[in-house]
Amino acid sequence: MGGINVIELEIVADHESASARVAGCIVEQVRREPASVLGLATGGTPERTYELLVEKVRAGHLSFSQATTFNLDEYVGLQPAHPQSYHAYMRSRLFGEADFDSKRTHLPDGTADDLAKAGEQYEALIADAGGIDLQLLGLGANGHIGFNEPGATEDSRTRVVDLTEETIAANARFFEARDDVPRRALTMGIATILEAREIVLIATGESKAEAVERAVRGPVASQMPASFLQQHPNVTFVLDEAAASLLGSRA
C-alpha cells in the first residue's frame, strides 16, 4: 500500500441521510456490476442501510441475485442459528429479505474446530471471487474496523482476535447479559480490508466523533486501526454531523 491519501468525507445531517447515502453507494455499485463482490458489516449502524436496500429490491429496483458477499467478522463459538450471531443478523436483516443467492453469501466460520485454517480458507474464498469491489465498514468508538481492535497490524489477515473490554461492553446491549458476549471473534484483517477496491465507512452519533477525528486526522497507527484507511486510495467516510463534530472547519 502506498503513502497517505486524503479520506473523502461526506457529511450529512443525520443517521437517516447517512444510511440513504451508503445504500445509494451499494445500489450504484450493483447496478453497474450485478455480479459485484460486496464486503458487508454488522452492528447497529448499518441496520437502516440494509432496510433501505431491502425496500429497493422489493420495489423491483435492484437485484442482488448475482452478487457475492463477504462479511467482515463473526463471533467465535456462536452457532449460525444463535440469534446474536452475525450469520443470524445478516439473515434476518438482509440475506433472507432480499434476493441473495445463499451459495454466494459468506461469513467467517466462528464454529470451526481449526479457526486458523478457517481464516486462511476465508482469505482464499475472497481471492477466488476476484477480491472485494466495495467494502462497507462501521467504526468502533475505540477505532476498530471489523474486529481489528487497537494493536491490529497493517499486515493482519483473517484470524482469531480477543475482543477488548470496551467492545464487549458496547455489544452487550445485543445480549441478555454481558457475560453472554463472546470474548473472541474471527475477523478479516487490516490487509484484507485494504485490498478492497473501494471502501465506504459509515459512522453516526457523537460516540464516534473522537474515533472519526483520529482516523481521519491522526497519525497512522495500530492503536487507531481505522487510521490505516488513510493508506487506501479510494475511501469515503459517510458521517452525520454528530460523528463529524470534532473535525472542525477543515471538514
Point out which residues bind ligand PGA (CB under 6 A).
Answer: 43-45, 138-140, 144
Cβ proximity to ligand PGA: between 118 and 139 the closer is 139
Sheet holding 198-203, edge to edge: 8-12, 235-240, 198-203, 134-137, 37-40, 68-71, 105-106
Is 15 in the active site? no
Catalytic residue among 123, 149, 195, 213: 149
Cβ proximity to ligand PGA: between 43 and 110 the closer is 43
Is 73 in the active site? yes
Is 149 in the active site? yes
Q: How far apart are CA 229 and CA 134, in angstroms?
A: 14
Question: At closest approach, how far in Å is the CB of 35 from ligand PGA?
Answer: 27
DSSP state for residue 225 in the 8-state scheme: G
Cβ proximity to ligand PGA: between 36 and 42 the closer is 42
Integer CA distances (angstroms), 28 to 21, 56, 59, 122, in order: 11, 12, 16, 26
Cβ proximity to ligand PGA: between 72 and 115 the closer is 72
Question: At closest approach, how far in Å is the CB of 66 from ligand PGA?
Answer: 27
In 77-222, which ranges are continuous DSSP H helix? 86-90, 115-128, 165-171, 190-194, 209-217
Is 142 in the active site? yes
Catalytic residue among 142, 148, 232, 240: 142
User: Which residues lie below 8 Å from residue 33, measured CB to CB, with a gap of 6+?
Assistant: 133
Which positions are annotated as active-site residues? 73, 142, 144, 149
